[in-house]
Structure 1
Amino acid sequence: MANDNDVNNDGTALPEGAFDGPAEFGAHVRTALAAAAGQGWTEIVLSDPDFADWPLGERAVVDALQAWAASGRSLKMLAHRFDVFERHHARFVHWRRMWDHIVQCRALPQWSAGDVPSAIWTPSWSLRRIDSERSRGVCGASAADRVALRQRLDEGFQAGRPGFPASVLGL
């Protein structure tokens, strides 16, 4: 059962429990990012081997990130590689350029793609895909799950190198 802190401005609750399939996964990503501004999350961490099947290029997702973005906010992203963004998430790439000062991206080419968690971490909610191929996983407000996920994501950030620059400058 969701409490008042787990409800979006439009009255919808953040999802809890198991999810199965790409449609449900995408809906959970959209719901979480739509909740970010209303929940006042100061930090969001997104992690995936390549983000190819995430709805990050959708107008509604970018609008949600725009509503959330402000001074003092932080979006961290962790991936095996980020090359899919230019091809599949053009709106997100544009948003990322405008908000470069709050976005930190780390690439983990030295890890196998399967070792990079497919997850969302927030201060009060998390989502983790256990089977990325079938988009199966769990989500919810469990503090134990959030702590364990954050430890794994922090390990990745420490091991990673800067990736997905906001712009490519050349001479």
Structure 2
Amino acid sequence: MEQAGVVPFASRQEFGAHLRACVERSVATLRMFDPDFSVFPLGASDFDALLRAFLRKGGHLYLAAHRTDHIERNCPRFMRLLKDYSHRIECRVTGRNLHQLTDSFCIGDEVSIVRRFHSDHMRGEAAFDTPQSSEISAERFRAIWAESLPGLHATTTGL
């Protein structure tokens, strides 16, 4: 049975469209978790423009990942964004004890969510302006954040 306001998706294109919608709707915070962010369009110019607009308006972006090597190697736009908005972006890397976590999600302002059930697959769901849909993932993100260490810095020295 489908929950009201929840839209299922099953393709990369649908995931990307819902993710962009989540960023566009967000004003204060974006909290993202993925094992490596390889499926997130962090290197795409249109996504960069959405994130820049969000950050320019005073938003804060929080990223948590098991590994950041994909972003460092394949997302120069995001690395530039991190350098330009280092005061509004925080990135953390999980410890080994959390590497069994395989879901993936983006929470916007604690009221919208785009969630993939497993990071190896595109199947998931999106819900907008429904705080109850993001409550569990928001709690999980806070726990992941608390157990993670700073990582992915704008410069190689982390300054």
Q: Which bin holds the TM-score, normalised by the shorter protein?
A: 0.7 to 0.9
TM-score by length of 2: 0.86
Aligned to 1:32: 22
Q: How many residues get paired? A: 152
1:18-167, aligned counterparts within 5 Å?
18-36=8-26, 41-70=27-56, 72-123=58-109, 124-141=111-128, 142-167=130-155
Deviations 1:40-95 (A, max 9, x none): x1111111000011111000000111111136421100101111112221111111
Distance 1:31 1:139 in 2: 10
* RMSD value, Cα: 1.9
Report if the CA contact (8 A) 2:34-2:119 is conserved: no
RCO (CA 8 Å, sep 6+): is it higher in 1 or 2? 2
Compute the displacement of 1:33 (Å): 2.2
Distance 1:28 1:111 in 2: 30
Structure 1 segments, 4+ long, off by >3 Å, are 111-114
TM-score by length of 1: 0.81
Structure 1 runs not aligned, ≥5 long: 1-14
Q: CA, structure 1 residues 71+111, in 2 after alignment: closer, same or farther (shift >3 Å)?
A: farther
Q: Percent identity of the aligned residues?
A: 26
Deviations 1:89-139 (A, max 9, x none): 111111111000011111013235441541001122111111322211111
Compute the displacement of 1:169 (Å): 2.4
Structure 2 runs not aligned, ≥5 long: none
